[in-house]
């Protein structure tokens, strides 16, 4: 029988035959693995699996992991050989960020966006907590929007406190399997509760010493949305390393760089030192943001560092 993994708690799982929502417990049979995967977790939330029911009435046995349509995978930069699949078979990734508390880290966001591009997952950037800084820092908000809208991404401003943007976000999620991800402390859990008050993921507080969020979600879990669709909540992240990307492949997943590179004098072009590089020229003209270009350079340097 076939079902979808809706919760991952170490070696124990909950399955449900979506779109029906009736979770039941399951465990892995023996050494089930996804063929060709080097990830530390063989099963991720969102995976479609085959299972069998044992005669003793205990937990179902996951016997096979079916091929994934897509997935989001990351490695920790301080444990570069360890990769972890965050979620699989997604229709949309909602990437939640805030300008302050915690401070926005564009390279972190860009790494997630590149991963979504690699696996063909549509992504929406949600700038949360706008009630805190719209009046105090309108230039910063406008600058952030320019960076990512010029790259082709939708930026949605929200506030879990005031409800701004929540209806639009709810409509985006309707009928889809959606991953909610972001750094610790960006207000992801509060935003999820605003989307659907029946959902109450743990809400954390900001560490004043480091202006970073404390981890509040330790499990990967899917929830049904009352307005239709399913939401996967992931733990707050503090690092996001790229997996299985060659240096020459990285610029292919920056949409604005890919478009400009058609006019580079040399092919392939690393967009770092070559004469006649259309990408560098576009940066100089302000058509590609220097922030995004610097994120790209950082990914190249990271690749050299950990090879």
State the CATH number of the domain containing residue 222. 3.40.50.300
- The pLDDT assigned to 304 comes to 60
Q: Up-side HSE of residue 267: CA atoms within 13 Å toward CB?
A: 7
60, pLDDT greater than 90: yes
- Checking if the pLDDT of 81 tops 80, the result is no
Q: What pTM value is reported for the model?
A: 0.86
User: What is the structure's pLDDT at 55?
Assistant: 81
Q: For position 16, which CATH number holds?
A: 2.40.50.140
First to last CA, the chain: 42
User: Hey, which residues does 222 pair with through a beta bridge?
Assistant: 232
Tell me: do 80 and 221 sit in the same domain: yes
The total of structural domains in the chain comes to 3
Asked if the model's pLDDT at residue 86 lies above 50, the reply is yes
User: Could you tell me if 169 and 282 lie in one domain?
Assistant: no
In a domain, 20, yes or no: yes
> 12 vs 284, which has greater pLDDT?
284
**Are 218 and 77 in a shared domain?**
yes
Maximum CA pair distance of the chain?
70
Domain that holds residue 292: 247-306
For all residues of the chain together, what is the average pLDDT?
86
DSSP state of 243: -
Of the two residues 105 and 48, the one the predictor is more confident about is 48
> Tokens 């939640």 map to which residue?
96
Split at pLDDT 50, 70, 90, the class of 84 is confident
18 and 131 belong to one structural domain:
no
Q: What is the pLDDT of residue 77?
A: 56
**Average pLDDT for 62-79:** 83
Residue ending a domain, choose from 233, 264, 286: 233
pLDDT tops 80 at residue 279: yes
Burial class (CB in 10 A: 0-12, 13-18, 19+), 13: buried
Mapped to the 3 state alphabet, what secondary structure does 130-179 carry? Answer: HHHHCCCCHHHHHHHHHHHHCCCCEEEECCCCCCCCHHHHHHHHCCCEEE
Q: Which residue has the higher pLDDT, 28 or 175?
A: 175
User: Quick one: pLDDT at residue 10?
Assistant: 76
DSSP string, 176-236: SEEEEEEBTTSSHHHHHHHH-TT-------EETTTTEEPP---SEEEEE-TTSSEEEE-PP
Query: Domain for residue 28, yes or no?
Result: yes
Per the domain annotation, does 239 fall within a domain? no
State residue 147's pLDDT score: 96
Q: Is pLDDT above 90 for 51?
A: yes
pLDDT, residue 202, reads 55
Q: Are residues 21 and 123 in the same domain?
A: no
Hey, which residues does 91 pair with through a beta bridge? none
Q: Tokens 């005031």 label which residue?
A: 162
- pLDDT of 42: 82
Higher pLDDT, 215 or 101: 101
Q: Does the residue 185 lie in any domain?
A: yes
Q: What is the mean pLDDT of residues 2-14?
A: 91
Mark which of 38, 65, 92 sits at the end of a domain.
Answer: 65
Which of 307 and 229 is assigned the larger pLDDT?
229
Question: What local confidence, expressed as pLDDT, does residue 3 receive?
Answer: 97
212 and 81 co-located in one domain: yes
**Mean of the pLDDT values across residues 14-42?**
80
Share of the chain above pLDDT 70, in %: 85
Whether the per-residue pLDDT at 215 is higher than 70: the answer is: no
Comparison of pLDDT for 134 and 60, the residue scoring more: 60
Q: How many whole angstroms separate alpha carbon 221 and alpha carbon 87?
A: 9
Residues 14 and 130 in one domain: no
Average the pLDDT over 128-156 and give the result.
Answer: 92
Please tell me the predicted confidence (pLDDT) of residue 32.
63
Contact between 66 and 51 under an 8 Å Cβ cutoff? The reply is: no
Contact 299, 292 (CB under 8 A): no
Average pLDDT of the residues in 142-163: 94
**pLDDT interval class at 211 (50, 70, 90):** very low
Segment 152-157 long-range contacts (CB within 8 Å, at least 24 positions apart): 152/255, 152/256, 153/113, 153/123, 153/124, 153/125, 154/124, 154/125, 155/124, 155/125, 155/126, 155/127, 156/124, 156/125, 156/126, 156/127, 157/126, 157/127, 157/130
Cα gap 98→284, rounded to integer Å: 28
171 in Cβ contact with 201 (< 8 Å): no
| Residue 218 pLDDT | 47
The confidence score (pLDDT) of residue 93 equals: 97
Question: Do 228 and 82 share a structural domain?
Answer: yes
Q: Does residue 87 have a pLDDT over 90?
A: yes
Higher pLDDT, 189 or 11: 189
Query: Is 43 within a domain?
Result: yes
- Judgement on whether residues 189 and 93 belong to the same structural domain of the protein: yes
What does the alpha-carbon distance between residue 186 and residue 129 come to, in Å, rounded to a whole number?
8
């Amino acid at each position: 029988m076939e079902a979808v993994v809706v919760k991952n708690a170490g070696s124990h799982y909950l399955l449900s035959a979506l779109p029906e929502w009736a979770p039941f417990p399951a465990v892995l049979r023996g050494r089930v693995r996804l063929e060709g995967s080097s990830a530390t977790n063989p099963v991720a939330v969102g995976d479609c699996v085959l299972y069998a029911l044992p005669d003793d009435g205990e937990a179902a046995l996951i016997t096979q992991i079916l091929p994934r349509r897509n997935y989001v995978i990351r490695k920790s930069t301080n444990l570069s050989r360890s990769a972890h699949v965050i979620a699989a078979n997604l229709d949309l990734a909602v990437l939640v960020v805030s300008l302050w508390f915690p401070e926005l880290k564009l390279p972190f966001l860009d790494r997630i966006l590149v991963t979504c591009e690699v696996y063909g997952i549509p992504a929406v950037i949600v700038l949360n907590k706008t009630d805190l800084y719209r009046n105090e820092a309108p230039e910063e908000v406008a600058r952030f929007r320019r960076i990512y809208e010029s790259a082709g991404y939708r930026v949605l401003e929200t506030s879990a406190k005031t409800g701004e943007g929540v209806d639009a976000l709810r409509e985006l999620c309707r009928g889809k399997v959606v991953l909610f991800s972001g750094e610790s402390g960006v207000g992801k859990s509060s935003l999820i509760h605003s989307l659907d008050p029946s959902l109450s993921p743990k809400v954390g507080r900001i560490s004043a010493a480091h202006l970073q969020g404390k981890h509040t979600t330790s499990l990967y879990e899917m929830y049904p949305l009352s307005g239709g669709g399913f939401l996967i909540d992931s733990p707050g992240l503090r690092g996001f390393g790229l997996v299985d990307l060659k240096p020459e492949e990285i610029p292919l997943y920056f949409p604005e760089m890919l478009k400009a590179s058609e006019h580079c004098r040399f092919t392939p072009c690393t967009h770092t030192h070559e004469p006649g590089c259309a990408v560098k020229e576009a940066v100089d003209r302000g058509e590609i943001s220097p922030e995004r270009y610097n994120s790209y350079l950082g990914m190249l340097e990271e690749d050299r560092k950990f090879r």
